[in-house]
Amino acid sequence: MSVKVEHQLEQVEEKVTGADVLIQALVAAGVDTVFGYPGGAVLPIYDALYQNDTPFNHVLTRHEQGGVHAAEGYARVTGKPGVVLATSGPGATNLVTGITDAMMDSLPLVVFTGQVATNVIGTDAFQESDVMGITTPITKYNYQVRDLKELPRVVSEAFHIASTGRPGPVVVDIPKDISQTVTTRKDETTSCHLPGYQPNTKPNPLQIVKLADALSRSRKPLILSGAGVVFSGAADLLRQFAERNQLPVANTLHGLGSFPGTHDLSLQMAGMHGNYTANMAIYECDLLINIGARFDDRLTGNLKHFAPNAKVAHIDIDPAEIGKNVETEIPIVADAAEALRALLEKDITTLEHDAWIDTLEQNKRDYPLWYDHAEECISPQWLIKEIYRESDGKAIVTTDVGQHQMWAAQFYKFDQPKRWVTSGGLGTMGFGFPAAVGAQIGAPDELVVSVVGDGGFQMSSQELSVIKERQLPVKVIIVNNQSLGMVRQWQEKFFDERYSESIFSENPDFVKLAECYGIRGMRVEQEAELPGALAEAFHHDGPVVVDCRVVQMECVYPMIAPGKGIHEMIGVTK
């Protein structure tokens, strides 16, 4: 059976250009926002945007990388593909980090890049880059349009591929002469037939029975919930399944919010900086049901010690992930929501496992996340707890990578999906702030808080222009320890405190930086000042940058050192 998707195009007038055809195709695909940056090879497209009364917004970011991260933030909170437009050469290569980030974190993007004219491709023409060669290993699929007749079909296929199965980025490379070509062709309907691309969403009934049987025999069952639960809209189904069978739930980093963090059955985050209860539950369980997570190394630690006593069931829409890192006895290739529905239809009688639940509850009480309050400045963990309190736990939180990311994951309790936007697989500095731009555009009525480090913020702070220009009320909270905190922590623990190039001797005045963009800036240096400052910032009708001076030498605990097992955490205090 082939896959067929049809988009009804508005009738294209005679003597339209390729750029006009592209815009019509974007309208047909339901696009409402494009993040982009113009340049020579896409000038015909930008001219068409200028001349056409397009029903979608174009957001002019200040760097192409900012544009693709904004599109990722938009995709994360809306579930729709983020759309990016950039020119050839450096414009296209500036997208590479964001495309890779989206590929690693399974985010749907459709990226349009300009290309030099078809007759000079391969001649090292001005601003030429081999976009197909560069993006082949970092995309779900890529296209180069060589004939205008192909363009509507290619656009339709790109959106279908990006948003179905395991989501991911698709690149469409458009030579300048294709977008300039004038056609008299009238396209009314386009469709895509992809017989070789048929993501399986329905679980094998026999494998569901096998999992139900394993669950009925388990005394120490555990669910590991990943981003696949969020992407498939399966959070409510997961909650029903866990509550019906009294199954504890641990989350991956990207799975935060897929199960309520304040629920009694929640063990919260597992992994390198996960908490003691979640990690020990994985180590001691006898049945591990992984739903929508890919067993990456930051979760598993040393594989020899990962769930050593457990039968492993893995539900994932991408068959390539099953058995890739962890031996799996019950593989289920399916959409998480479809699999959970099938499991909920089963009348499963579980064994008594109250003792298991009691053990986990005792661990929660005995080994909680901890920190010391600072005397001279702000404890970063307390900063996150205050953000949680002030936002009533309802904010969309975006982060970069590093210490602030882990503290946010540990101390902000996510009760809903699509509230957590972070760079997990690639670990991209400079992601969090532009992602907040896209998140705020995708969810204009929500409180968006961008928690960033002072290092990462300096990689993308030029996007302050965008939030000022569009009056996006993003609240930027800089966890300012005047260092590359996680790098410094690793140097402290594993390089005998040789802090090579990880501590900043100078930082810009972030308050003045915000003010020079016309944005309100605030600085907070003492814990006593923090509650009032956050209240003022969150109630301010517009964007705010809050520079919070935190303890420079603070470390993130617990931590699994490189090469160690998930049960060998350091920094656990009873």
Query: Hey, which residues are catalytic here?
Result: 64, 126-127, 176, 486
Give one DSSP letter per residue of 265-292, joined into a string: TEEEE-STT--HHHHHHHHH-SEEEEES
The closest alpha carbon to 128, from 94, 168, 175, 96, belongs to 175
340, HSE (Cβ side, Cα atoms, 13 Å): 26
In the beta sheet, which residues pair with residue 289? 223, 313
Q: Is 304 exposed, middle or buried (0-12, 13-18, 19+ CB in 10 A)?
A: exposed
In angstroms, rounded to a whole number, what is the distance separating the alpha carbons of residues 353 and 372? 36
> Residue 212 corresponds to which amino acid?
A
The closest alpha carbon to 49, from 23, 82, 27, belongs to 23
Given the DSSP bridges, would you call strands 169-175 and 141-144 parallel, antiparallel or unpaired? parallel
Question: Which pair of structure tokens corresponds to residue 290?
Answer: 């992984």
* Phi, psi angle pair for 54, to nearest 5°: -75, 140
Question: Tokens 């598993």 label which residue?
Answer: 300
* Phi, psi angle pair for 265, to nearest 5°: -85, 0
Rounded CA Rg of the chain: 24
In angstroms, rounded to a whole number, what is the distance separating the alpha carbons of residues 429 and 267? 28
> Residue 176 corresponds to which amino acid?
K
Please state, in angstroms and as integers, the Cα–Cα distance from residue 381 to each residue in 406, 510, 525, following that order. Answer: 10, 21, 15
Q: Is 222 exposed, middle or buried (0-12, 13-18, 19+ CB in 10 A)?
A: buried
Question: Which pair of structure tokens corresponds to residue 169?
Answer: 């980025």
